[in-house]
Structure 1
């Protein structure tokens, strides 16, 4: 009877994917936490520190598509293992920086490695999980970013106080190096290759899905040919709107809580972490719930993805409602709803590449939508800053963000078509 019991190796893999994203976000945060000490030690200006903080995004955003191509061509095991190992070494080495130029080079290097994380995870999800579990897994691994963001600041601050900022970079960097060793020893490119996956689990994984062509890495089309399909455009445009909204919570939220809501630093620190904690729980729950809806046949895959995207974005629009409340506590509660809505949508966003990508191109599709989404992350804080400077208030900035969310809803309702795998022979949608 033992053979009838399904092994659960895929969930150990999902746990490792989650840990990679959590480490990813913890590593991003060390510079922000130690900015005061670094600025003082090397006599940096605020402008130089701003460049250091943005340097990560230069390489991160530009390399999403190449990282996805590499993952699909040479395998997610090598790509994610190299990515985490590389960015962990860059993190650990940051403590050896001796000034602005060397620190900037290390931050750009960090982005080079971190570019491989999300595209690789999307590709692993398509290979290791059946369609009825993909939103759960996508929500799970993406929730690592909220965990990393929520715990990073207190953890890193404690390490800096206890051991100094240079040693803190080394300690945090070592986490990813340990992860890399475990990953390379444990993970296999496909479930079929893993000795721990029994026949029952293997059949379950492949049930209702097309196997990726075993041993074949040929890509059915060039990456830019994907731009002929309207679903790719819908995924990129929608994720841009979501990320524009999301980056408010990790850039301007502390300033908003202090200046607009009159909080002191201790109050702000607690209040700023609440949306991330709520969002982490909401994302995993939404991924699980959407998979239940689809697997029980209550809705088609297309209807399930669109339903949860729309529910999430309707909640995300509460950021505009928060602008009008006079109560700081109510404003934080509304922002918790808004951030949770972002992540409910994100649980579907990260499942979509596995649903629509041509064979062997899941990581490339994930890289494409993440490239565009990070443009939202780059311009969002800048536009918010200009609006606040021009008006002296966060209200117009929050309303603008809510307006983009409404456009995101329209995009997913009307531009996103049937959620199904793109086949090269399909009639393409020409955007012209």
Structure 2
């Protein structure tokens, strides 16, 4: 143990860790968003159809979704420090060399490689949260690190538009990839697997973290195999609900730039600025939602289950505004509605990412987070493709936006009726070998 025994004032190393988690997710989304912002240039250079661009946008999710559970298992088994460090380093490399692509097939290969690396991010962060933060800060830090996705997406749009304008899309991928390599070096030098191992954590902070956990982990044994989790209702509710949320959410980092250019008549610079607005609004709302939900629960105004459901449902009601944006002729009103919709998505997400640490059996937080994210990101797989073919066949984004709103309504009913009491799963069955 390397705990700092100086105890006159509590240290806040956990929040430095939280900001590194936030930065990892921000870089994660900057890297995955480059293709969306560069899509008009790439499709023109390689003569790609809307359907082919939809496949490219979804190709990232093929490996990303399929590797969530393995990434979660690796993180729980070998530690989040190594897993997240390797993940960020790998996907940054894939981003850097994407400019070497010569056509559809090579672009698809680089996107699949990017997804393989980024699969380690969210499961690792969920596991870090369970180790480094007390229960009453769980939704706050979950909202914090997930808000990095909105910051990353928001910064990516104007930044990438400017880089493409000043240089070209190929060099832009290289510049963006360097960010993650720098982060990886800082992470490996600073982070430690547990608070006890970090020399900057003093006794007061360590006691604050450990006393704030109802479910303290004292070993590394996992009570069941990952697939045995499928016996539990809450796991299904978490996976189904997050699928619907992500289908809706990924419109904002895949097709929104094209929607603003083709449907709303904006130029590249206008698009870069306007596309960032829903994401910037969402970033603020997500952090506030996580903080407020933690306050509601810690002050015992509502039970944990009621708190999670309240913020989930309120967020999803806001998210359904994406359907209303389809009908307005005003570009300004459409953007306002999209800002509300994306903010609602993130309000729900602040609760979604708190759930694995509250529901998972001991030592399985990253695994549960990986399962949830596997299913949710199938929305990322099918969403861009479905949207692409709907737009291609109808010549309009209206039916695509209405379909997204319909899925959000299903998500509301899922969290109301299928999600049960939010509490740790205590398996009674023995592990199946």
Q: Which of residues 399, 402, 405 in structure 1 aligns to 2:405? A: 402
Change in 2 beyond 3 A, CA 1:212/1:182: farther
- The 2-side partners of 1:292 and 1:398 are apart by 34
Name the structure 2 match of 1:286.
289
- The 1-side partners of 2:37 and 2:330 are apart by 29
Name the structure 2 match of 1:346.
349
Name the structure 2 match of 1:430.
none
Change in 2 beyond 3 A, CA 1:316/1:384: same
Count of residues paired in the alignment: 425
Which whole-Å deviations, capped at 9, do the CAs of 1:276-299 have from their partners, x for residues lacking one? 111111111111111111111111
Matched, 1:26 2:8: no
- The 1-side partners of 2:47 and 2:41 are apart by 10
Which whole-Å deviations, capped at 9, do the CAs of 1:206-265 have from their partners, x for residues lacking one? 224245534x32211100000000000000011011111112222333344444445455
Does the residue aligned with 2:7 lie in a helix, a strand or coil?
helix
Which whole-Å deviations, capped at 9, do the CAs of 1:363-394 have from their partners, x for residues lacking one? 11111111111111222233334444555544
Deviates more, 1:285-294 or 1:247-256: 247-256
Which whole-Å deviations, capped at 9, do the CAs of 1:327-365 have from their partners, x for residues lacking one? 332222122111100000000001100110111111111
CA contact (8 A) 1:254 1:268 kept: yes
Name the structure 1 match of 2:115.
111
Change in 2 beyond 3 A, CA 1:426/1:281: farther
Change in 2 beyond 3 A, CA 1:327/1:50: closer
Name the structure 2 match of 1:184.
188
- The 1-side partners of 2:96 and 2:387 are apart by 33
CA contact (8 A) 2:36 2:253 kept: no
Structure 2 counterparts to residues 270-281 of structure 1, below 5 A: 270-281=273-284
Q: Which of residues 158, 178, 203 in structure 1 aligns to 2:207? A: 203
Structure 2 counterparts to residues 18-417 of structure 1, below 5 A: 18-35=22-39, 43=46, 45-46=48-49, 50-97=54-101, 100-210=104-214, 212-214=216-218, 216-389=219-392, 391-417=394-420
Deviates more, 1:399-408 or 1:388-397: 388-397
- The 2-side partners of 1:188 and 1:384 are apart by 42
Deviates more, 1:140-149 or 1:385-394: 385-394
Runs of 5+ consecutive residues of structure 2 not aligned to the other structure: none
Change in 2 beyond 3 A, CA 1:268/1:90: closer
Deviates more, 1:396-405 or 1:59-68: 396-405
Change in 2 beyond 3 A, CA 1:170/1:247: closer
Q: CA deviation at 1:102?
A: 4.2
Runs of 5+ consecutive residues of structure 1 not aligned to the other structure: 428-432
Q: CA deviation at 1:162?
A: 3.8
- So what's the TM-score if we normalise by structure 1? 0.91
Change in 2 beyond 3 A, CA 1:242/1:35: closer
Change in 2 beyond 3 A, CA 1:51/1:247: closer
Name the structure 2 match of 1:3.
7
Q: CA deviation at 1:159?
A: 2.9
